[in-house]
């Protein structure tokens, strides 16, 4: 167009827009500022310190977001929205955290508080849903039609993006794959029922079985490194124990992952996803072993017509999935 007499029309350059994704956990919190293309500009972290009480935690949330915005040099007027991944039971319509045992919160109107402080729209989402949406938009699930996300942590969280739409229950919680029944009269679950997947294959359940193996002298590496204390038997240590040759630990984890695969297969028969994304600490620690066993379990229960086009993959975004997904959800609703 150089030298042309006719100038191409230019749109007025729009003011740069920013989004904040916030991950509110029981032990730590993180705010990340994204530009309009969802590239991260700056992050800030803090300990949640639940013991200090709700008011103190809310103050720290405000501070953490402000710090991230300042570091990103994002002018306040450009802030288009904040998305928050929250634990607990939510009232999505009114933007309230109804009950979050992790935080010891009841009825906190987080959406309106944030919106007063930062003068922008705020969207709350279940934390696992936000993480699932993050992987769908920017991670291992890009291009999927229907995506199932499964995140074994202390419990086992699940999320589903169905044909582009995040499936969310009325109270912000759905896809409780950790509480799908897998065994009649099975082990007692934290939710009060018996035989939930989580009670048999969650990290806490795994650690409890591993601790017994340690006690019985079947896991020499762990016996010398951490012992039978459930608080110490976390994913990283379990991975080391397998590497060091603790066969009993490997068997316990393989059985749990296979059982999880069986339960996921049942969900595949319901929702016919084309991609299952597995993430969370345990998967990150032993991705190959975990995915291999999940695939075996899946084959036992998934109908042939659904398994053909199914990909089972590891999550790509780690802790960023939640902030990215939350920010994208805030942007989507804008």
Residues lying near a copy of itself in the complex (CB under 8 A) = 89, 145-146, 158, 160, 162-163, 165, 167, 169-171, 173-177, 179-184, 191-194, 262-263, 265-267, 269-272, 274, 300-301, 303-306, 309
Beta-carbon neighbour count of residue 247 at 10 Å?
A: 13
- Least CB distance from residue 267 to a copy of itself, whole Å? 6
User: Quick one: three-class SS letters along the chain?
Assistant: CCCCCCCCCCCCCCCCCEEEEEEECCCEEEEEEEECCCCEEEEEEEECCHHHCHHHHHHHHHHHHHHHHHHCCCCHHHEEEEEEEECCEEECCCCEEEEECCCCEEEECHHHHHHHHHCCEEEEEEHHHHHHHHHHHHCCCCCCCEEEEEEECCCEEEEEEECCEECCCCCCCCCCHHHCECCCCCCECCCCCECEHHHHHCHHHHHHHHHHHHHCCCCHHHHHCCCCCCCCCCHHHHHHHHHCCCHHHHHHHHHHHHHHHHHHHHHHHHHCCCEEEECCHHHHHCHHHHHHHHHHHHHHHCCHHHHCCCEEEECCCCCHHHHHHHHHHHHHCC
If the CB atoms of residues 222 and 268 are measured against a copy of itself, the closer one turns out to be: 268
If the CB atoms of residues 266 and 287 are measured against a copy of itself, the closer one turns out to be: 266
| Sheet of strand 96-100, all strands in order from the earlier edge strand to the far edge | 89-91, 96-100, 105-108
- Least CB distance from residue 209 to a copy of itself, whole Å? 17
- Least CB distance from residue 135 to a copy of itself, whole Å? 18
If the CB atoms of residues 224 and 270 are measured against a copy of itself, the closer one turns out to be: 270
- Least CB distance from residue 29 to a copy of itself, whole Å? 24
- Least CB distance from residue 175 to a copy of itself, whole Å? 5
Q: Which residues, listed in sequence order, are joined to residue 30 by a DSSP beta bridge?
A: 23, 45
If the CB atoms of residues 51 and 305 are measured against a copy of itself, the closer one turns out to be: 305
If the CB atoms of residues 161 and 219 are measured against a copy of itself, the closer one turns out to be: 161
If the CB atoms of residues 38 and 162 are measured against a copy of itself, the closer one turns out to be: 162
If the CB atoms of residues 16 and 270 are measured against a copy of itself, the closer one turns out to be: 270
- Least CB distance from residue 99 to a copy of itself, whole Å? 9
- Least CB distance from residue 46 to a copy of itself, whole Å? 29
- Least CB distance from residue 7 to a copy of itself, whole Å? 45
- Report d(CA 260, CA 48) in Å as an integer: 30
Whether residue 255 contacts residue 135, with contact meaning beta carbons closer than 8 Å, is answered with no
If the CB atoms of residues 65 and 268 are measured against a copy of itself, the closer one turns out to be: 268
If the CB atoms of residues 173 and 207 are measured against a copy of itself, the closer one turns out to be: 173
Backbone phi, psi, residue 221, to 5°? -60, -50
């Amino acid at each position: 167009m150089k030298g042309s007499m006719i100038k191409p029309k230019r749109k007025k350059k729009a003011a740069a827009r920013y989004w904040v994704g916030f991950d509110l956990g029981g032990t730590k919190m993180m705010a990340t500022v994204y530009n309009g293309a969802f590239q991260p500009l700056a992050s800030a972290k803090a300990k949640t310190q639940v013991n200090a009480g709700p008011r103190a935690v809310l103050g720290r949330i405000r501070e953490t977001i402000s710090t991230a915005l300042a570091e990103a040099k994002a002018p306040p007027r450009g802030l288009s929205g904040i998305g928050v991944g929250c634990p607990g039971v939510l009232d999505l319509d009114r933007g309230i955290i109804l009950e979050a045992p992790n935080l010891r919160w009841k009825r906190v109107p987080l959406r309106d508080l944030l919106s007063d402080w930062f003068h922008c729209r705020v969207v709350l989402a279940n934390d696992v849903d936000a993480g699932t949406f993050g992987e769908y938009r920017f991670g291992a699930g890009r291009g999927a039609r229907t995506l199932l996300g499964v995140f074994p942590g202390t419990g086992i969280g699940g999320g589903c993006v169905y044909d582009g739409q995040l499936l969310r229950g009325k109270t912000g919680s759905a896809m409780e794959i950790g509480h799908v029944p897998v065994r009649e009269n099975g082990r007692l679950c934290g939710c009060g029922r018996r035989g939930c997947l989580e009670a048999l294959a969650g990290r806490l359940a795994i650690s409890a079985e591993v601790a017994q193996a340690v006690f019985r002298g079947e896991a020499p590496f762990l016996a010398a490194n951490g012992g039978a204390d459930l608080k110490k038997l976390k994913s990283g240590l379990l991975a080391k124990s397998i590497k060091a040759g603790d066969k009993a630990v490997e068997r316990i984890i393989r059985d749990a992952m296979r059982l999880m695969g069986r339960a996921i297969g049942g969900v595949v028969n319901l929702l016919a996803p084309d991609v299952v994304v597995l993430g969370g600490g345990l998967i990150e620690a032993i991705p190959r072993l975990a995915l291999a066993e999940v695939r075996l379990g899946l084959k036992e229960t998934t109908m042939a017509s659904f398994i053909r086009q199914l990909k089972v993959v590891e999550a790509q975004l780690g802790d960023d999935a939640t902030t990215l997904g939350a920010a994208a959800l805030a942007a989507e609703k804008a």
